[in-house]
Amino acid sequence: MAAQTAPIARAAGTALTARMPNPAVVIPESDDRIFAVAAWRESPYFTEAERAALALTEAVTRLSDRADPVPDEIWDEAARHYDELGLAALILMIATANFFNRCNVSTRQPAGAWH
């Protein structure tokens, strides 16, 4: 989830999903990887499968940025690493984070207000 929510927040131009509870507390994750998500393309900390998931996350989050929002290359790379169930889970996770991000932005909920 950490690998998904940070690029969604960055791509959507908000800090809202970046302030979600940190799954690294439950699933141990190195600080290097958590902090490197914002620069995942340049970072050495992610596998090819994680990079494919992050690329898909950005494409699905930024649908209006291009004529072909989720190009075949991005989808095909994700499909190379994830089976049908894995792709469905990724899409649902991305959509859920985007849903909450958009609800919070539209109702002007500040990041971390739920604390």
Q: What is the pLDDT of residues 18-70, one digit of tens each?
A: 555 555 555 678 888 888 888 999 999 999 999 999 999 999 999 888 889 89
| Predicted local confidence at residue 2, as pLDDT | 47
Of 104, 107, 78, the C-alpha closest to 20 is 104
| Mean pLDDT to the nearest integer, 59-82 | 93
The amino acid sitting at 31 is: D
- Reading the block at residue 51, the tokens are 């990079």
| Domain 2-106, CATH homologous superfamily name and number | AhpD-like (1.20.1290.10)
| Predicted local confidence at residue 33, as pLDDT | 87
How confident is residue 12, by pLDDT bands cut at 50, 70 and 90? low
| Predicted local confidence at residue 81, as pLDDT | 97
| Predicted local confidence at residue 50, as pLDDT | 95
| Predicted local confidence at residue 82, as pLDDT | 97
Q: Please state, for a pLDDT cut of 70, what percent of the chain lies above it.
A: 74
d(CA 56, CA 77): 9
Whole-model pTM: value is 0.74
At residue 111, φ and ψ (nearest 5 deg) are: -55, 135
| Predicted local confidence at residue 5, as pLDDT | 53
